[in-house]
C-alpha cells in the first residue's frame, strides 16, 4: 500500500507532519487528504502511531467506501479511536459502541424520532419559531450594518442550538440562545447603534462587530459542555485532557449544571406522562424527544416486567448526545452554506426564484412561508442546493472504521484491528476518480456495479458549486432546470456517511436546513463579501468548520 517513504523511516512516522499541520493551518484532516493525494493511489497508509505502531489506511474512492460502509458491516465496525476520544465524555452514547446488542437496544429507545410524524408534526413548528427569531435578529443587524459585512457565526450557532433544544425538550424548557440576542438588539438606542457602526462607518468592507447578549446559565453550561466534548475529542490524550479539565477548570460546575438540566427535563417529562394516566400506547402527550424517550422506556419496562428507570447514564448520554451531535454539525453546515450561496450569486437567485414560485400563496400575501408549507412543499432546486452545500461544505470529511477481521481492500491484505479512514472528499467526490482495476474491487462492489451501475460526476466540474448536478429529468436523464426532479443518488456523496452506522439525525438535519435556508434566502440577499473575508480556510475540531464566515445582507423586497 503506497505511503510516504520519509515518514516510514522516522520513529514518529507522520505524527510531526500531522501536528505541524494542526498548528500551522489548523486543518490536520485536510493535510491527511493531501498525503493520500500525494501517493496518487485510492488506498494509502499513514503512520499516526509512533515507534512503528500499526499504520492507518486511508481510502479515497467512493465505490469502495460505499461498499465497505453499506455491504461489509461484519468486516468493518465503529472505530475504537472514536470510543477512546468521544467516549471519554460520552461513554454511554450509542455513537461510541460497536454494532452490538446494546447499540441496538439504545437505538430502539430513540426509534421513531426521525419519522415524519414526529419531525413534521412536533419538531418543525418549534424549530420554525426559533428560525423566525433569527430572521428578526438579522433584520435589525442588516439595518444597522447598512451594507457592511458581519459575522453570522454566533447567531447560526445559537439558532442551531435552539433548534436542537426545540427538538429535544420542546416548549417545556423555556430558555433559548437567540431570544436574548433579539431582545438586546431591539433595545438598542440611537447612540448605541452609532457606537456599533463605529468610526469605520464610511468603509463598506469593514465588518460590524455586534456584541453578544448574556445567556441563561443553563444555556451557558450546555454550550460549555459542548466545548469540553470538542476539546477532549480533538485532544491527542483525551483521558489526560479530562483529568486536566477536572483539576484546573470549572469542569465540575459546568458538567453538573448540564446534568442537572438533563435530569430536571427528564423528571418533568415523567411527571407529564404520569399525569396523562392513559394507555401506554397513547402518545398524544408526547411533545419532545425526551417525552418520547421516557414513553418508550415505560413501554420497554412493561414488556420486560421490570421497573422503569428514567435517569440512567444511558438516557443521560443519549439525550446530551443529540444536543452535541445535532448542534455543531448543522451550524457548521449552515456557515458553509452561507459562504457558498454568497459566492455563487446565480445559484442563489435561482434558489430564491424557485422558493418564490413554489410558495406563491406566501408571495401573494407578502408573508413568510409557514412551517408546514416549508416542510411539505416539493422544491427540487431547494433539495439540490442543500445537497450541494453538504457536498461542498465538508462538515464531516469522512468516516472511520476498524477492521474486525483480516480482510482485503482494493486488492491489499489488511489485518484485523487496522483503522480505516474513508474520505468523502478528494478523488471521486470532488476530484476525478483514480484508476482501479475492476478485479481488485471486492466481489460485492463488482456485483453492485453490474446490478445497479456506478455513480459518477462529470470530471469537468466536480469541484464547482452547482446545485443543477442533483436535478434530472423524471425519466432519469440529466438536464437543465424545468420539469426536473431531485435525485439524491445523482452522484457520489456521503455527508452523513452510509450504511447501518450512518448519521442517525440526518432527517432532522435536513429539516432544520430546509427551514433555515428557506427563511434566510426568502428574507435576505446574501451579497458577496470582500475577498479577505471570503476564503475557504477551515479548522478541524469536532467538525471541519470555516475559519472565517461573514455575510453582507440586503433585505429582499416582496
Q: Using CB under 6 A as the criterion, which residues of the chain lie in contact with ligand HEM when the complex forms?
A: 94-95, 164, 321-322, 325-326, 329-330, 333, 395-396, 399, 495-497, 501-505, 508-509
Nearer to ligand HEM among residue 7 and residue 288 (C-beta):
288
- State in angstroms the smallest separation of the CB of 226 from ligand HEM: 13
Nearer to ligand HEM among residue 59 and residue 145 (C-beta):
59
Nearer to ligand HEM among residue 367 and residue 506 (C-beta):
506
Using DSSP's 3-state secondary structure scheme, residue 478 falls into strand
Nearby residues of 81 by Cβ (< 8 Å), 6 or more positions away: 400, 402, 419
Q: In the numeric block, which cell numbers belong to residue 539?
A: 479548522
- Confirm if 114 and 504 have CB atoms less than 8 A apart: yes
**Torsion sign (Cα): 543, 546, 550, 551:** negative
Residues paired with residue 402 on neighbouring β-strands, in sequence order: 77, 419
Q: In the numeric block, which cell numbers belong to residue 465?
A: 458549486
Q: Fill in the DSSP letter of residue 309.
A: -
> If we measure between CA atoms, which residue out of 72, 76, 66, 74 comes closest to residue 453?
66
Q: Fill in the DSSP letter of residue 421.
A: E
In this structure, the number of other CB atoms found within 10 A of the CB of residue 259 comes to 15
The single residue listed with the C-alpha cell 456485483 is 447
Angle between helices 124-145 and 153-169 (to 10 degrees): 160
Residues paired with residue 413 on neighbouring β-strands, in sequence order: 408
Nearer to ligand HEM among residue 229 and residue 508 (C-beta):
508
- State in angstroms the smallest separation of the CB of 331 from ligand HEM: 9
Q: Fill in the DSSP letter of residue 438.
A: G
Nearer to ligand HEM among residue 245 and residue 497 (C-beta):
497
- Confirm if 374 and 515 have CB atoms less than 8 A apart: yes
**Residue closest to ligand HEM (Cβ):** 505
- State in angstroms the smallest separation of the CB of 295 from ligand HEM: 18
Nearer to ligand HEM among residue 207 and residue 499 (C-beta):
499
> If we measure between CA atoms, which residue out of 345, 333, 336, 344 comes closest to residue 550?
336
**Spatial distance between the Cα atoms of 105 and 499, rounded to a whole number of angstroms:** 18
Nearer to ligand HEM among residue 13 and residue 28 (C-beta):
28
- State in angstroms the smallest separation of the CB of 505 from ligand HEM: 2
List the alpha helices (DSSP H) in 150-248: 153-169, 178-186, 190-197, 217-234, 238-248
Nearer to ligand HEM among residue 65 and residue 428 (C-beta):
65
Using DSSP's 3-state secondary structure scheme, residue 362 falls into helix
Nearer to ligand HEM among residue 15 and residue 86 (C-beta):
86
- State in angstroms the smallest separation of the CB of 191 from ligand HEM: 40
Using DSSP's 3-state secondary structure scheme, residue 431 falls into strand
Whether 445 has a binding-site annotation, put simply, is no
- State in angstroms the smallest separation of the CB of 512 from ligand HEM: 7
**Spatial distance between the Cα atoms of 266 and 279, rounded to a whole number of angstroms:** 20
Nearer to ligand HEM among residue 43 and residue 542 (C-beta):
542
- State in angstroms the smallest separation of the CB of 399 from ligand HEM: 4
Q: Give the CA distances from residue 63 to residues 43, 67, 493, 531, 544, in Å, rounded to whole numbers and listed in that order.
A: 12, 6, 10, 36, 23
- State in angstroms the smallest separation of the CB of 432 from ligand HEM: 23
- State in angstroms the smallest separation of the CB of 21 from ligand HEM: 21
- State in angstroms the smallest separation of the CB of 139 from ligand HEM: 25
Region of 409 please: left (phi>0), alpha (psi -120 to 50) or beta: beta
- Give the DSSP per-residue string, 333-360: HHHHHHHHHHH-HHHHHHHHHHHHHHTH
Annotated binding site for heme: which residue ranges?
A: 503
Annotated binding site: which residue ranges?
A: 503
Amino acid at each position: 500500500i503506497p505511503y510516504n517513504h520519509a515518514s516510514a523511516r522516522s520513529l514518529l512516522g507522520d505524527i510531526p507532519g500531522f501536528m505541524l499541520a494542526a498548528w500551522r493551518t489548523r486543518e490536520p484532516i485536510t493535510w491527511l487528504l493531501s498525503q493520500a493525494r500525494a501517493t496518487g493511489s485510492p488506498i494509502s497508509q499513514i503512520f499516526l502511531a509512533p515507534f512503528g505502531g500499526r499504520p492507518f489506511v486511508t481510502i479515497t474512492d467512493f465505490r469502495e467506501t460505499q461498499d465497505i460502509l453499506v455491504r461489509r458491516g461484519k468486516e468493518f465496525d465503529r472505530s475504537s479511536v472514536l470510543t477512546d476520544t468521544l467516549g471519554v465524555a460520552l461513554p454511554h452514547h450509542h455513537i461510541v459502541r460497536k454494532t452490538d446488542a446494546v447499540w441496538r437496544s439504545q437505538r430502539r429507545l430513540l426509534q421513531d424520532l426521525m419519522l415524519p410524524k414526529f419531525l413534521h408534526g412536533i419538531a418543525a413548528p418549534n424549530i420554525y419559531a426559533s428560525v423566525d427569531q433569527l430572521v428578526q435578529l438579522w433584520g435589525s443587524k442588516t439595518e444597522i450594518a447598512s451594507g457592511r459585512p458581519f459575522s453570522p457565526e454566533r447567531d447560526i450557532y445559537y439558532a442551531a442550538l435552539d433548534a436542537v433544544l426545540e427538538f429535544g425538550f420542546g416548549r417545556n424548557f423555556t430558555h433559548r440562545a437567540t431570544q436574548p440576542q433579539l431582545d438586546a438588539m431591539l433595545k438598542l438606542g440611537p447612540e448605541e447603534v452609532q457606537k456599533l457602526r463605529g468610526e469605520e462607518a464610511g468603509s463598506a468592507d469593514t465588518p460590524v462587530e455586534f456584541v453578544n447578549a448574556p445567556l441563561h446559565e443553563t444555556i451557558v453550561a450546555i454550550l460549555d459542555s459542548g466545548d469540553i466534548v470538542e476539546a477532549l475529542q480533538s485532544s491527542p490524550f483525551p483521558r489526560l485532557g479530562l483529568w486536566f479539565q477536572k483539576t484546573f477548570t470549572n469542569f465540575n460546575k459546568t458538567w453538573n449544571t448540564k446534568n442537572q438540566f438533563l435530569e430536571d427535563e427528564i423528571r418533568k417529562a415523567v411527571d407529564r406522562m404520569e399525569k396523562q394516566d392513559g394507555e401506554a400506547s397513547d402518545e398524544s402527550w408526547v411533545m419532545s424527544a425526551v417525552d418520547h424517550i421516557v414513553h418508550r422506556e415505560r413501554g420497554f419496562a412493561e414488556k420486560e416486567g421490570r421497573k422503569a428507570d428514567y435517569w440512567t447514564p444511558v438516557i443521560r448520554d443519549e439525550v446530551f448526545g443529540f444536543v452535541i451531535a445535532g448542534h455543531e454539525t448543522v451550524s457548521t453546515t449552515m456557515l458553509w452554506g452561507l459562504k457558498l450561496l454568497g459566492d455563487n450569486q446565480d445559484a442563489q437567485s435561482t434558489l430564491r426564484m424557485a422558493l418564490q414560485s413554489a410558495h406563491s400563496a406566501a408571495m401573494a400575501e407578502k408573508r413568510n412561508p409557514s412551517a408546514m408549507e416549508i416542510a411539505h412543499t416539493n422544491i427540487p432546486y431547494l433539495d439540490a442546493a442543500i445537497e450541494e452545500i453538504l457536498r461542498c461544505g465538508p462538515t464531516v470529511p469522512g468516516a472511520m472504521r476498524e477492521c474486525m477481521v483480516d480482510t482485503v481492500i482494493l486488492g491489499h491484505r489488511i489485518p484485523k484491528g487496522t483503522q480505516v479512514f474513508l474520505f468523502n472528499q478528494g478523488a471521486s467526490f470532488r476530484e476525478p476518480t483514480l484508476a482501479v482495476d475492476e478485479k481488485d474491487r471486492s466481489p460485492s462492489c463488482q456485483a453492485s456495479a453490474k446490478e445497479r451501475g456506478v455513480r459518477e460526476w462529470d470530471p469537468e466540474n466536480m469541484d464547482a458549486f452547482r446545485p443543477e448536478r442533483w436535478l434530472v429529468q423524471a425519466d432519469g436523464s440529466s438536464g437543465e432546470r424545468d420539469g426536473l426532479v431531485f435525485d439524491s443518488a445523482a452522484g457520489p456523496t456521503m455527508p452523513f456517511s452510509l450504511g447501518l452506522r450512518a448519521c442517525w439525525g440526518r432527517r432532522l438535519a435536513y429539516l432544520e436546513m430546509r427551514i433555515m435556508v428557506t427563511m434566510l434566502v426568502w428574507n435576505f440577499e446574501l451579497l458577496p463579501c470582500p475577498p479577505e473575508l471570503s476564503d475557504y480556510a477551515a479548522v478541524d475540531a469536532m467538525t471541519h468548520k470555516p475559519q472565517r464566515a461573514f455575510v453582507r445582507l440586503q433585505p429582499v423586497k416582496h
